[in-house]
Amino acid sequence: MSDAQQPDDTTGQVDHESHDTEGPGYATPQAAIEESEPEEIAYVMGLYVGTDVDAPDFLGVVDVDPDSDTYTEIIDRVEMPNRGDELHHFGWNACSSSCHMDGLSRRHLVIPGQRSSRIHVVDTKDRRNPELESVIEPEEVFEHDLSAPHTVHCIPDGQILISMLGDADGDLPGGFLALDENFEVDGRWEPPGEIEMNYDYWYQPRHNVMVSSEWAAPKTYYPGFDMDDVEAGNYGRKLHVWDWENKTVEQTIDLGEEGLIPLEVRFLHSPEATHGYVGAALSSNVFHFHEASEARSASERSSGDKPRDGDEWRTEPVIDVEAREHDGWDMPVPGLVTDLLVSMDDRYLFFSNWLHGDVRMYDISDPANPRLADRIWAGGHFGDPAPVQDRELAGGPQMLQLSLDGERLYWTTSLFSSWDNQFYPEEAEQGSVMLKADVDPRNGSMSLDEEFLVDFGDLPDGPARAHEIRWPDGDCTSDVWQ
């Protein structure tokens, strides 16, 4: 049964005093800040791929309620039915873009296996004890000549869109796979041939636009990182600007040598905004992208008409992380900007430098001119190797998640199993951690919470890696507004 067919279920729903429907999520980003309660549990991807532990990957339920007796503990695990999936990114069946849909609830997590192309659906009606509901087997995905699922976004009207990084053989091109409200494969979303490489994406429906980024073919990044692949042009450096309604690419922007391996894409949360950011991992730059002309009316944008002459999207590098010398490297170490997010009030940008070992906070009140506000060092090749409770870290800050009120920032330390083994081989033996910083939005500062440590190295089956984080009531990296 689809979530749209469960009108009596109120899981993941919020009262919307500002409008007359009661769908999932919040009416506005400001409502998410004001109406949300502090997070009490987190859903975190846990995986054993690339370790000596012969066990399936799992969805971890982490207690993040400081008043709870099980604070910072992994209180439940939903094991996948197969080994070797490489759980990576995941997302909700519904979010604030569907807040107009009565009866739809934010209840199911869609959890792909990056290596297996298997897609799992987990029911979170009991938030502390979710259950695996169904599985889409890889063969159903391969039928559409797609593989390697990555970003999961709910899109309006109950559908789910997943970026796919390869074809059925793990080569290029990638594309997008759509699921319907019953969690069945609805087919390829876009016409074939629109793009070659794919990775992350974000859409702004009010402006009829989507922006997607590039990593590489699965066969390129699965074995690990090789600089020869960069020199051969096998890694991405482009952003693609889509006509959201027509599902076609209207503009491709080559970021050049400064934009090698553009990964996470984030628009500002305001549905009126035409500003966003992408982190170029290898070049260790953050690019600001924006509509060159912001004079188009809302009706022109929503009509689906192509922009007038001169109304293009543009990019500029606005943050540069300088590479640093390290005794153990034969080249300067890049920061490797692997994740970034924007606070719900669109005031701050946070990003992680996985190799350097720092998390940065920038004031983006002027989106074109970010200003460094604060940063925290924890692990990596240059940070404190044991910043919390004397726990040695075998990794740097990686996947980020921010509380809806912008006052607590969490992160994990695994990037991708083969890349972990290449750059932080000890993590396979020690496991990942989840850490937290307290954020002061008023003063633009952060402080590491030395009492908070979720240790994925201490699990019954053995040390595990930890990747993406989600909140039950939505978060800064999944909710979109119309």
**pLDDT, tens only, 105-150:** 899 999 999 999 999 999 999 999 999 999 999 999 999 999 999 9
Amino acid, res. 365? S
Instruction: Confirm if 411 and 468 have CB atoms less than 8 A apart.
Output: no
Residue 404 has pLDDT above 80, yes or no: yes
In 91-243, DSSP assigns E strands to: 91-92, 108-112, 119-123, 131-136, 147-155, 159-166, 175-179, 185-188, 201-204, 209-212, 238-243
Task: Tell which residue, 407, 411, 409, 410, has the closest CA to residue 440.
Answer: 407
Give residues with Cβ within 8 angstroms of 17, minimum separation 6.
none
d(C-alpha 370, C-alpha 460), whole Å: 44
pLDDT band at 310 (very low <50, low <70, confident <90, very high): very low
* Each residue's pLDDT tens digit, 331-343: 999 999 999 999 9
Residue 97 has pLDDT above 80, yes or no: no
* Each residue's pLDDT tens digit, 54-80: 999 999 999 999 999 999 999 999 999
Q: What is the pLDDT of residue 104?
A: 83
pLDDT band at 96 (very low <50, low <70, confident <90, very high): confident
Instruction: Confirm if 448 and 387 have CB atoms less than 8 A apart.
Output: yes
The mean pLDDT value for 32-55 works out to: 97
Q: What is the pLDDT of residue 95?
A: 87
In 272-396, DSSP assigns E strands to: 275-280, 285-291, 313-320, 337-342, 348-353, 358-363, 371-377
The mean pLDDT value for 175-179 works out to: 98
Half-sphere exposure of 189 (CA within 13 A, CB side): 25
Percentage of the residues of the chain whose pLDDT score is greater than 90: 87
Q: What is the pLDDT of residue 425?
A: 97
* Each residue's pLDDT tens digit, 257-308: 999 999 999 999 999 999 999 999 999 999 999 999 754 444 444 444 444 3
d(C-alpha 436, C-alpha 445), whole Å: 14
Q: What pTM was computed for the model?
A: 0.93
d(C-alpha 27, C-alpha 131), whole Å: 29
pLDDT band at 100 (very low <50, low <70, confident <90, very high): low
d(C-alpha 43, C-alpha 40), whole Å: 10
Give residues with Cβ within 8 angstroms of 62, minimum separation 6.
41, 42, 43, 44, 72, 73, 74, 75, 434, 454
Q: What angle do CA 74, 59, 183 make, to 5 degrees?
A: 150
- Mean pLDDT over all residues of the chain? 92
Q: Please, what are the domains in the chain?
A: 29-295+306-470 (2.130.10.10)
* Each residue's pLDDT tens digit, 199-233: 999 999 999 999 999 999 999 999 999 999 999 99
Residue 254 has pLDDT above 60, yes or no: yes
Percentage of the residues of the chain whose pLDDT score is greater than 70: 91
Q: What angle do CA 243, 247, 252 make, to 5 degrees?
A: 55
d(C-alpha 156, C-alpha 154), whole Å: 7
Task: Tell which residue, 111, 44, 52, has the closest CA to residue 455.
Answer: 44
